[in-house]
Structure 1
């Protein structure tokens, strides 16, 4: 908590202009009264910008004052937050001297050019400008957006692309589907910001077209689908908006006329049009209203799957958009027929006005052209979406969907057969119910103009009639989501032998043998001489150890694996990598952080002399006095009696803990059964096992040159200091064997002690988080205690790192690593863990 407060303090001290602007708009809101409610007529006349105030009243200064006064309390809150965050980011990147002119330039251009465009358009009779020329605007967000877009030119490629994508996506969506003047002014300011930023940055003499990775292209396409899906909701929430795509909102919500509306309408409309309205009204109800949002739900699922690169999401998006085109033709046909009916009933309105025709062309074109363009885009970029679900998952999806369709259809027909007399029109037969069945699963806008509709009277039949469609599409949506999350991760035949062969040749570092553990799958390069072990959790591909490759091939291996993950829409995370690989990630522009310290000993130079070794020597001497011996062996070489003792010691250790046993980089009983893994046993005077340790090999050209400590268990009745005795004995044995490196393994969340005279590193939010986690988990797992225990052996320290490409993915990465360490935590164990942490 203190670190978070310290970071917030440092951040706020670095953005004084942003804080000052936030304070200014609070003051102007108090002075003008917008702090308590919407701007009054006098405030609008004197301080807001628009064609009326700037052009007709000649109050040109309002182009400036509109940048400092919020319209109402809601905008005030949003602008204060935007000033502190978005403008703060721009201030930190641009600096104070550049921020001030950039702020005014983009704000004045956005409002001033926007007013000019509106005025010229209204004179020309352009429908949007003419419809909004009376609107007035006060919007401090306009210069904030412009400043952020200028600052984006100074960001790295990843953040520059993301900031611009998100900002322009939101602005264009609101401009098209709502069309209010404030959004258009912000859009102009954002465009001005990009132009100004281009000339201010080092890239002013050249236009750089950034090549996007598969993942970034997928983000862009998914964002387009998301915008076209959510956009109609904006026009639905604001039916009086002036957006070009405003008619799209008419497809959703309660489109059913009331009885009074039908009576009024039918008194003047033609018989055919009146019949259409009555058929539509007969389909009203909560269920049919819910069903109008089915295309929206499917497009949201499609956008999510497209972000993951899923093939099913591609075709779901294409089919849904084509269905929207059909819906648009039917709906627009209904609108035109209604308009024609009204016109024929009113001699004074025998034809539509030219402006009305223009609006119908624009609105009608948007409801057809937009989904058609999205469908074409998805089809053209289909090669970017190649990830297919496993065959079993697709079969399960078909069974669920077809089964749900069949069951719901049977229920509808069965209930209808029992209550057949309640249906309208009278005389409805079961055959007609069966033929009418497909329309229960279509959007009601289509149903209402596709012939006679059979509708039951109120009761169970009407409930079933109205809800089987929404229930089916709910099941379909959930099943689609499950299908999109299904991924096949299986170790291929021969992969275990291949990874072991590469490890024996050399590579992978001191933690490399952990890649052979269950739970990992393997990627091999095209030549087959490099590999990476990983596991995919929540879309995060977590690797284990350094890349398994020849010296000097680290960069090529990392880049190839990252491209492999990108093609599968996974976030690659290299976990527990060493300092020698860090330059590769720095060159790629990735982020990295220390996730622990590895403690190393060097047996060939080992001399247990001096005061610092006193505790270890005491344990060695005591063990000798009590008749303890050691055995360097493998699990397969042990007699059954010793195997039973090891199992008993391990089970006793586990049973004493209410907490779940951790995995991932922490081996358990199964991992010691590997024939390449060595065991060092401590035997008491009676030959019973007092303690057991396992040692993972590290090879070079087929010869073991190092070992890494993994499994550690001690019998309850063994002497104090047994583990020190055993590790020291192992180190001395390795010295005799010519072993170069002995690793006591990594200590998660630990930090090496700072040498005397060296300054403490400046804390960051992430280091503060790691420190908090280390303190919190200490009562449960004793990471710090284990780290201090290993310090008895006077090791050298080597930081182990986690490298990742996207800092925004850190929450997901953290959750995935947590599941990797605790993959099978039961509810009881979770409660025990929480209880331990809060003690």
Structure 2
């Protein structure tokens, strides 16, 4: 980046860079680079005592101009330049300055008000000293970031608000210092100010998200909440209501140095003895266990990001376990020991509200993920799930056996003297972090080395297995191992069973291989129906025989085989030995690029669109997802999210790909770019091979910005047709429009009626008929595609299976809309 670019970037972020520079200049001028002096803190800081008693309202502004320590200064400068700077690009200079000042003043005022109200009701989270001084430059950063969300597109608006609010709330709940409350209040103020500055009433309507975006947000929420205990661990003097949950993961036991002469430091002999025993229990295995628990939850969040259902289930289980442990060790046990402590507000106790919040937050995360489990449709192989479960069970049983046996055979290795009964009673605590042990009477404490080995490491062993299992689930796919995936892709290069054959590689499909390994059938099992996608993949010779083998295998497993989007000729050949009926479900639109030319009156609209695009400076870019820049990927994602949000029904699946399917390295993208390089539209093209040679492309993903010129998609597709002709391809399929059944081919059967109803319900949102009319502009050859079935009794189940295949994430509300269409 040259000097001119740096200067331009600084000018665009003038308020943010100026604020960061002011922060640094004041730190140097006041000699507070290593932290403000006590006198300076008293002068510029704010807080409940300073405002209520000292009436120092100017401190609302001066408190955000200084950082409490060097690390906070560095973090603040980076956050101001990066976060506030990005917000300034959306808000502009004047609005950024206005929001920064207003959110600081109002945020601190609201935060102080909340602390005062909490003190009046004796809330534990407000028990910070009344004279606590707040110095926090991140307060205006929170306000401007949340305000900028109102000026961002739907995708980033949702991301900023969900992740920003989650982060601010988690820090407050786990740390609970007055500055955390001020930051959250500033964020709320910024959110309202942003809506007002965008000239709309504050109305925070949730817009529909794609499956990809829901997974991303939920995994981020799980990851952020998993990092919450780290906040409590690092914040040694926090007052957050979830601090007990953080302490559950904290190894807060006394060290050997502290207890070198314990009776000088701890006069109470009983307490002294207990602390000595705690120090003996503080081994390396005990210390590493909290890290393994949190790492397993973060690994589950990583798997959720990639759509792994097993990772979502693991996250639900881990959050449920954490909620249960918190309720038990900070609620049940203290109540059994001293019921009055539940109503106490002294620091260090576990009041009812505090304990409830500490248990309810991870429980709420588990419930939210469970409610949205349908968005995680990538299941693991059954064998992998069983192996992970077996490994965890073996680790649990082996560790328990070793611990009980050691206590029974070597009783002198423990204090008090070990026994099998005492070891069994103490066993559950070996699998949870040890930070809570000072809350109750100690169980067995290891003295000798064998006892230390089993006492310290059996819990760490189990959680290590859980962590490894979480990582394995991230990379494992349902019924399709890496080797099977390679086999399928190799077969696709030998011969495809239609223009949609490449969809067989999508992770939501299962794959059946013929006994000789020469053919494969991609399918989905829905409600007892094996819904095959197109025709078998592999050489043309023997394709029907492979289909019959697939049907036999389905019969053996109690499934009804159905071939969706097959050709009528394939069904006729398939019916030689077994009667297969069929119904038309759409038309494939195929352009023969070897003979096409955009001449004549019928191509007038396409030529007009091309000329308009050239006049407007629009260009095309042929690439892959990996070949796109980070900015281009973000713009494609934003365009797609806008498209999904405008639909009244969930995102479709089955033969319609989304963002996840763009990331395949064999899938090509054709982008439309304006003169500044901004992505205006994006399309994806699936390859089709024959005998190892690329012969065609199939259009799948097609999205454009709402504010682009008319005819943009015509320009993009025409460019692809020309490129295919230049590269010597045979054809380009504009894909079959699902459920667009030609009237002259429609019958009056039950399945046809169901498909017709489904098409009518989805038409307003997805426009299948208008899409078919759009494709006809390119003068394609129309080839009917059919659904072939062997048993008319299975037609109702087939119709339901097809509906669920296209709408796997159909919500009850959307299902109600679908059912109402039958009236």
TM tier relative to shorter chain: 0.5 to 0.7
Partner of 1:371: 362
Deviations 1:491-514 (A, max 9, x none): 49997899453389xxxxxxxxxx
Partner of 2:384: 393
1:483 equivalent in alignment to 2:473: yes
SS in 2 for 1:33: coil
Deviations 1:723-778 (A, max 9, x none): xxxxxxxxxxxxxxxx9944289xxxxxxxxxxxxxxxxxxxxxxxxxxxxxxxxx
Change (3 A) 1:224 1:207: closer
Partner of 2:234: 237
Alpha-carbon contact 1:321-1:374 (below 8 Å) kept: yes
Q: Distance in 1 between matches of 2:67 and 2:437?
A: 46
Question: Match for 2:298 among 288, 297, 300?
Answer: 300
Alpha-carbon contact 2:331-2:352 (below 8 Å) kept: no
Q: Distance in 1 between matches of 2:269 and 2:661?
A: 58
1:16 equivalent in alignment to 2:6: no
Alpha-carbon contact 1:308-1:570 (below 8 Å) kept: no
Partner of 2:142: 145
SS in 1 for 2:727: strand
Kindly state the Cα deviation for residue 161 of structure 1 after the two structures are TM-superposed: 1.3
Question: Match for 1:158 among 155, 159, 170?
Answer: 155
Change (3 A) 1:573 1:501: closer
Q: Distance in 2 between matches of 1:568 and 1:698?
A: 22
SS in 2 for 1:60: coil
Alpha-carbon contact 2:253-2:435 (below 8 Å) kept: no
* More moved, 24-33 vs 307-316: 307-316
Q: Distance in 1 between matches of 2:65 and 2:424?
A: 64
Kindly state the Cα deviation for residue 30 of structure 1 after the two structures are TM-superposed: 1.7
Q: Distance in 2 between matches of 1:423 and 1:304?
A: 40
Partner of 1:73: 70
Alpha-carbon contact 1:147-1:193 (below 8 Å) kept: yes
Q: Distance in 2 between matches of 1:111 and 1:337?
A: 37
1:577 equivalent in alignment to 2:678: no
Partner of 2:811: none
Q: Distance in 2 between matches of 1:171 and 1:500?
A: 52
Alpha-carbon contact 1:86-1:144 (below 8 Å) kept: yes
SS in 2 for 1:466: helix
Structure 1: runs of 5+ lacking an equivalent: 344-349, 505-516, 544-555, 596-663, 678-695, 701-738, 746-839
SS in 2 for 1:577: strand
Q: Where in structure 2 are the equivalents of 1:167-316 lying within 5 Å?
A: 167-201=164-198, 203-204=200-201, 208-256=205-253, 283-316=281-314
1:466 equivalent in alignment to 2:472: no
Question: Match for 1:97 among 82, 85, 94?
Answer: 94
Partner of 1:618: none
Change (3 A) 1:319 1:325: same
Kindly state the Cα deviation for residue 57 of structure 1 after the two structures are TM-superposed: 1.8
Q: Distance in 2 between matches of 1:404 and 1:126?
A: 42
SS in 2 for 1:153: helix
Q: Distance in 1 between matches of 2:182 and 2:412?
A: 60
Deviations 1:125-169 (A, max 9, x none): 555445353222232222232122222211111111112222222
Change (3 A) 1:183 1:698: closer
Kindly state the Cα deviation for residue 359 of structure 1 after the two structures are TM-superposed: 6.0
Change (3 A) 1:325 1:266: farther
Q: Distance in 1 between matches of 2:140 and 2:724?
A: 62
* More moved, 150-159 vs 208-217: 208-217
Alpha-carbon contact 1:307-1:569 (below 8 Å) kept: no
Change (3 A) 1:264 1:414: same
* More moved, 189-198 vs 256-265: 256-265
Q: Distance in 1 between matches of 2:174 and 2:4?
A: 42
1:111 equivalent in alignment to 2:108: yes
Q: Distance in 2 between matches of 1:310 and 1:699?
A: 29
Q: Distance in 2 between matches of 1:176 and 1:477?
A: 26
Q: Distance in 1 between matches of 2:263 and 2:148?
A: 56
Q: Distance in 1 between matches of 2:268 and 2:724?
A: 98
Change (3 A) 1:293 1:76: closer
Q: Distance in 2 between matches of 1:562 and 1:99?
A: 45
Q: Distance in 2 between matches of 1:47 and 1:193?
A: 23
Partner of 1:652: none
Q: Distance in 2 between matches of 1:452 and 1:51?
A: 41
Alpha-carbon contact 2:343-2:351 (below 8 Å) kept: no
Kindly state the Cα deviation for residue 109 of structure 1 after the two structures are TM-superposed: 1.6
Question: Match for 2:128 among 131, 134, 137?
Answer: 131
Deviations 1:220-242 (A, max 9, x none): 33333333322122122223212
TM-score, reference length from structure 2? 0.57
Q: Distance in 1 between matches of 2:438 and 2:724?
A: 81
* More moved, 490-499 vs 247-256: 490-499
Question: Match for 1:323 among 312, 318, 321?
Answer: 321
Q: Distance in 2 between matches of 1:452 and 1:353?
A: 23
Provide the alpha-carbon RMSD of the alignment: 5.2
Q: Distance in 1 between matches of 2:278 and 2:174?
A: 26
Question: Match for 1:83 among 80, 91, 95?
Answer: 80
Change (3 A) 1:338 1:61: same
Kindly state the Cα deviation for residue 266 of structure 1 after the two structures are TM-superposed: 10
Deviations 1:103-140 (A, max 9, x none): 22222222233334434554565554453532222322
Change (3 A) 1:231 1:432: closer
Kindly state the Cα deviation for residue 86 of structure 1 after the two structures are TM-superposed: 1.9
Structure 2: runs of 5+ lacking an equivalent: 502-517, 524-532, 535-563, 566-584, 591-622, 634-646, 699-722, 730-823
Q: Where in structure 2 are the equivalents of 1:426-575 lying within 5 Å?
A: 428=419, 440-441=430-431, 443-444=433-434, 457-488=447-478, 489=480, 490=485, 491=488, 499-502=496-499, 575=667
Kindly state the Cα deviation for residue 434 of structure 1 after the two structures are TM-superposed: 8.2
Kindly state the Cα deviation for residue 391 of structure 1 after the two structures are TM-superposed: 2.1
Change (3 A) 1:357 1:59: closer
Change (3 A) 1:356 1:141: closer
Q: Distance in 2 between matches of 1:164 and 1:85?
A: 17
SS in 1 for 2:64: coil
Q: Distance in 2 between matches of 1:151 and 1:173?
A: 21
Alpha-carbon contact 2:123-2:345 (below 8 Å) kept: no
Kindly state the Cα deviation for residue 175 of structure 1 after the two structures are TM-superposed: 0.9
SS in 2 for 1:476: helix
Change (3 A) 1:110 1:563: farther
Q: Distance in 1 between matches of 2:326 and 2:586?
A: 54
Deviations 1:593-630 (A, max 9, x none): 9x9xxxxxxxxxxxxxxxxxxxxxxxxxxxxxxxxxxx
Q: Distance in 1 between matches of 2:169 and 2:50?
A: 26
Alpha-carbon contact 1:262-1:278 (below 8 Å) kept: no
Kindly state the Cα deviation for residue 182 of structure 1 after the two structures are TM-superposed: 1.8
SS in 2 for 1:39: coil
Q: Distance in 1 between matches of 2:214 and 2:273?
A: 48
SS in 1 for 2:239: coil
Partner of 1:743: 727
